[in-house]
Amino acid sequence: MTSRTALKRLGLTPRVVSDGTQILSQWRDVEGGAYVYLYNPSDHPITFSPSFAVQGVPAAMNLWNGSISPIAQYSSGNGRTTVPMTLQCGQGEVVTINKDARPAVHVTGAPPKDGSFLVSKGKIVFRATESGGQTFQLSDGRKTDVNAEVRTDDDRPLSGVPASRPSTIDQWTPWSSTVRTVTPTGGATVSIPSGLGDSQFQQFRLKDWRDITRLNGESGVGTYTANTTLPDGWHANAAQGVQLDIGHVDGTADISVNGQFAGTQITDGRQWDITRWLHPGTNAVQITVRTTLRNAVSKYNKKSTAGQPYGLRGPVTLTPYHDYVVYNGK
């Protein structure tokens, strides 16, 4: 008999049931509910529907800025609350559950395909990234049909060396990078004007600093720059736009589009809505990566040849989206 079976026979269930995944969790009881911290220690994304031993209204806490946002899709009953989600490798998430809050209309059932839900001004919006039809169940018993049409007329085949032009909408110019190294005795500026892409057998990836001769054993701040071009007739509207995914980063990353700061990324899997800063013609994307000091210290001490991977690794992609209201607040 397994421990899980034995506990079940005793009528005991975990506070957090995570579909058999290896997710780590911490639980904090608070007045009127609970805070639950979830962490994915694996090297791959995990999509699951954790069930929490408290019935109420869940919300998501942003650990970067402390803000709390409503969760659009969940189910609650029989003393538990279930929230579908995806955690990227190394990502942490805090779910707050309020037992005293009055539930608003929300989406129940299976997670959507090719898109995600968000709550905006009391409305529930489905952000579609692919065309197709889906039906969503609301908690008040109503169903909403969405026949998504996502604009893909800007899509173009990749050309040139795919590894140095990792875009799904338009070719990037080859990535260039300027790195300000940091050492115990000072630092230097290293410019890498091109050649950041790996071989064709590792398409869409940019090189680890350890694989670049002038950056091997260095730590510091690297600024990556590339341009992408949108057609003259391109325009955004209230329901359609473009998301940026910078892929994998070994370090933390500050993102700017056409000179406007878009945000800071500390874990993979983040989609950045950059629509407001785009325009027809040439658009510049700048990604500033900050590393730890480990490699520089190891090189200085000459006691270890082991090092951490550093740098922007990609793939860097642009994805068009189309928003559809599945609940208008009434």
- CATH number for the domain that contains residue 270: 2.60.120
* Domain end residue (candidates: 123, 151, 179): 151
> What average pLDDT does range 234-262 have in this prediction?
91
Q: Evaluate whether residue 274 is within a structural domain.
A: yes
Question: By the 8 A CB rule, do 330 and 256 touch?
Answer: no
> What average pLDDT does range 306-320 have in this prediction?
87
Residues 124, 70: one domain? yes
Residues 207, 239: one domain? yes
Residues 134, 199: one domain? no
pLDDT at position 77 is 93
Residues 167, 289: one domain? yes
Residues 268, 182: one domain? yes
Q: Which residue has the tokens 């803000």?
A: 67
Residues of the domain holding 206: 162-322
Return d(Cα 59, Cα 85) in angstroms, integer: 12
CA distances from 253 to 228, 266, 289, 311 (A): 19, 7, 4, 9
| Across 51-55, 110-114, 171-175, 322-326, least confident range | 171-175
Q: Which residue has the higher pLDDT, 302 or 255?
A: 255
Q: Which residue has the higher pLDDT, 173 or 58?
A: 58
Residues 94, 170: one domain? no
**HEC-encoded secondary structure of 19-42:** CCCCCEEEEEEECCEEEEEEECCC
**HEC-encoded secondary structure of 169-210:** CCCECCCEEEEEECECCECCEEEECCCCECCHHHCCCECCHH
Residues 122, 143: one domain? yes
Q: Evaluate whether residue 10 is within a structural domain.
A: yes
Residues 254, 285: one domain? yes
Q: Which residue has the higher pLDDT, 108 or 64?
A: 108
- Tally Cβ neighbours within 10 Å of residue 188: 12
Q: What percent of the chain has pLDDT over 90?
A: 53
| Identity of residue 177 | S
Residues 137, 184: one domain? no
What beta strand segments (E) does 40-157 contain?
Answer: 46-48, 51-52, 57-61, 68-70, 75-77, 80-82, 85-87, 92-98, 107-108, 115-120, 123-128, 132-138, 143-148
Q: Evaluate whether residue 327 is within a structural domain.
A: no
Residues 197, 135: one domain? no
Beta bridge partners of 136: 144
Q: Evaluate whether residue 215 is within a structural domain.
A: yes
Could you give the 3-state DSSP secondary structure of residue 9? helix
pLDDT at position 327 is 92
pLDDT at position 84 is 94
Residues 209, 307: one domain? yes
Return d(Cα 251, Cα 266) in angstroms, integer: 7
Return d(Cα 112, Cα 178) in angstroms, integer: 40
Cα–Cα nearest to 204, from 227, 172, 251, 156: 172
Q: Evaluate whether residue 157 is within a structural domain.
A: no
For residue 114, give the CATH number of its domain: 2.60.40.1180
Residues 24, 145: one domain? yes
264: which 2 tokens?
Answer: 């800071």
pLDDT exceeds 90 at position 160: no
* Domain end residue (candidates: 94, 119, 151): 151
Cα–Cα nearest to 91, from 136, 129, 54, 37: 37
* Domain end residue (candidates: 151, 178, 201): 151
Could you give the 3-state DSSP secondary structure of residue 8? helix
Q: Evaluate whether residue 330 is within a structural domain.
A: no
Q: What total of structural domains would you count in the chain?
A: 2
